[in-house]
Amino acid sequence: MPAPEPRANPLLLGHADAETTILDAIRAGRMHHAWLITGPEGVGKATLAYRFARRLLAGRGAGDTLALDPADPVFRRVAAGSHADMKTIERELNEKTKRMKTQIAVEDVRKINGFMSLTPAEGGWRVVVVDGAEEMNAASANALLKILEEPPPRAILLLVCSAPGRLLPTIRSRCRRLRLGPLDDAAMGVLLGQYLPGLDADERGRLMTLAEGSPGRAIMLAEDEGLKIALLVDKLLADMPAVPVSRGYEIADMLGRSETGFSTFMDLMRAGVASAVRDSVRGRADPDQERLVALRSLDAWGQIWQGLTRLQDETERFSGDKRQAIVAGIGMLSE
C-alpha cells in the first residue's frame, strides 16, 4: 500500500520519546502554545503533528499513546481537512503557472490569527499546523511572530520544519522544540515492508542505505526510479575523474524524460560525495570511495558539495535549465 498523506497516516514509528513528551504535557495540563517539530525530511514530522492535533481535538485523556483509531470521526475529519477547529498552512499551487509556490504567502499566515482567536467550535482546542515553516518569507515570518507574541487562549500552533536555522531566532525562542532523528533499521524495515511490499530484500536494503533513516525519502526514491538512478550515480563516481563532457549530456538526456529525475540525480550525487568523504574519514570507505576521495582535499570536497547544493537549489527555485545544470554538476566533480 502507498504511504498515506501525513494528515491521514495512523502509523508512526521510531519517535517514542517525542510522543512521551507530548503525552506528559497533556497529562500535566500545561500545554505550550507553540511547538516546533524539527528533523530531516521524510522522518515523520508532519505525521507527528497531525497525530498530536487529533489527540487534542478528540478531547480525551492522554492515555499511553497519541494514536487515534482511523475509524474515529475526528481522525476522518482531520484526514479530509474538514475539521472546523483545525487549519493547515503550507505552500500552495500558483493558479497562473500551475506550479507550487516557492514560499508560504504572508496572506495565508495572516489568516492564522483570526482562526485561532475564534472560540473552538467543539469546545476544545483550535489547532494550526504550519507545514514547511522554513518556507516562509520575511513578511510571513514577521506575521507569525506577532501571533506568537500574543497567543490566543485554547489555541495551539504546530510548526513543522526541516531547516530550523532558516527561521527567525525570535520564532524559535517562543516555541517548545521537538527534535526527530532518523529512524533505525528496524523501524525502517517495518515501514518499507508495509509501504513497498513488492521490493525484494536487496532492493529494500539498498533503499534503506540511500534514505539514511527517512522512510519518506525511501518511498520517494522508489517512486522516482531512485534505485536505477543510484546505480547510474555509483558508476559515475567510480569512473571519476575520467568522465568526458559527452557523458554528462547523455545522462541529462536520459533524465530529461522524468519529471523528478533531475532532483533525484542531484540528491543522490551529493549524497554519494558526502557518504564517500564521511566513510573515508571514519576508515570505512570501500576502494571506489577511497579512490574518489583521494582526488581532492577534504576542504575541496566540502566546497564541491556546497557548489552542487547551490546549483540544484538555484536551478529548481528559478526554473533553470536542468540539462545544463546536470552537465555543470558532473563537471564540478570531474574537472
pLDDT tens readout for residues 102-132: 889 999 999 999 999 999 998 789 999 999 9
Cα 98 to Cα 306: distance, rounded to the nearest angstrom = 30
User: What CA–CA distances, in Å, run from 68 to 76, 126, 211?
Assistant: 10, 18, 28
Indicate the number of domains in the chain: 2
pTM greater than the 0.85 cutoff: yes
pLDDT 10s digits, 266-285: 999 999 999 999 999 999 98
> Is there a contact between 8 and 79 (Cβ–Cβ < 8 Å)?
yes
Beta 126-131 vs 99-100: how paired, if at all? unpaired
Distance from C-alpha of 183 to C-alpha of 164, rounded to nearest angstrom: 19
Amino acid found at 244:
P
Same domain, 121 and 36: yes
DSSP calls for 15-73: -HHHHHHHHHHHHHT---SEEEEE-STTSSHHHHHHHHHHHHHHT---TT-----TTSH
Tell me the sheet residues that pair with 335: none
The predicted structure's pLDDT at residue 92: 83
Same domain, 36 and 175: yes
78 inside domain: yes
Query: What are 216-242's pLDDT values in tens digits?
Result: 999 989 987 889 999 999 999 999 998
CA distance 55 to 159: 17
Contact criterion met (CB below 8 Å) for 180 and 15? yes
- pLDDT band for 94, please (50, 70, 90 cuts): confident
- Which domain covers residue 302, as residue numbers? 224-334
The verdict on residue 63 lying in a domain is yes
CB 126 within 8 A of CB 120: yes
Per residue in 44-91, pLDDT (tens digit) is: 999 999 999 999 999 866 578 899 999 999 999 999 999 999 999 999
Last residue of a domain, one of 111, 145, 179: 179
Question: In this predicted structure, what is the pLDDT of residue 2?
Answer: 66
* 18 & 112 share domain: yes
Question: Do 15 and 124 fall into the same domain?
Answer: yes
Same structural domain for residues 126 and 266? no
d(CA 69, CA 25): 21
Q: What is the model's pLDDT at position 132? A: 95
Domain boundary among 149, 179, 209: 179
Last residue of a domain, one of 164, 179, 194: 179
